[in-house]
Amino acid sequence: MRLASISAAVAAMIVAGCSTGGDEAEIPDLMQFKNTGSPDELATVVSKPIVYPDLNTELALPTPGASNRADYRPTEDAIASLGGSTRAGGTVPPASDRGIIAYATRFGLDPMIRQRIENEDLEFRRRSHGRFLERVFDVNLYYQAYSDTSLEPYLELERLRRANIRTPAAPPEPN
């Protein structure tokens, strides 16, 4: 009788260990990070450095509700870092950016691209959620799951150089 109750308890623990519990079963988490209670340094938003004008007369008058020069503007920063212009101020791109936009959209535009990629990635994560012991021991499967779709930067750099494509912004070779 005692052996039967111990066997039943062990079987119940095994079955309980196999369940992922509620909503977590719908969206697999490949990273398997544990919450240690410490702050997440990647969640910190760093603002731009404060820039002091040469003359106090160059200071703009404070406008309630207006943005600050040091505010984080990811869209404008990305456009500027890629050589675009954010001077237009609206949603219409300036004339100087029309060539790059025409080239980037030459095969058409998919307005639902984010939703489509999100659905494809969710399906991929469901297929690649790891074996039983990897899930039990919280093994990080992110890099293993996406290894077939990742780009090896230095092999790509060599391929581009062999094709005589200039790569002026390429990082130096690792030591």
**3 state SS for 96-137:** HHHHHHHHHCCCCCCCCHHHHHHHHHHHHHHHCCCCHHHHHC
Any domain includes 173: yes
- 48 part of a folded domain: yes
Indicate if 117 and 166 belong to the same structural domain. yes
pTM of the full predicted structure?
A: 0.41
92 in any annotated domain: yes
pLDDT value, residue 3: 72
Q: Locate 152 and state its tokens.
A: 């090896």
Q: Which domain holds residue 72?
A: 43-61+68-109
Q: How confident is the model at residue 90 (pLDDT cuts 50, 70, 90)?
A: low
Average pLDDT (114-118) is 91
| Average pLDDT in the chain | 75
Are 76 and 118 members of one domain? no
**Same domain flag for 73 and 91:** yes
Give the pLDDT band (50/70/90) at residue 79.
confident
Residue 36 lies in a domain: no
167 lies in the same domain as 134: yes
What is the reported pLDDT for 28? 67
52 lies in the same domain as 94 = yes
142 assigned to some structural domain: yes
Better pLDDT: 51 or 75: 75
Distance CA 26, CA 123 (A): 10
175 and 114 within one domain: yes
Residues 90 and 118 in one domain: no
Residues 26 and 77 in one domain: no
Dist. CA 71–CA 56, nearest whole Å: 20
Mean pLDDT calculated for residue range 96-123: 88
Question: How many folded domains does the chain comprise?
Answer: 2
**What pLDDT was estimated at residue 41?**
63
Domain assignment present for 35: no
More confident residue, 89 or 47: 47
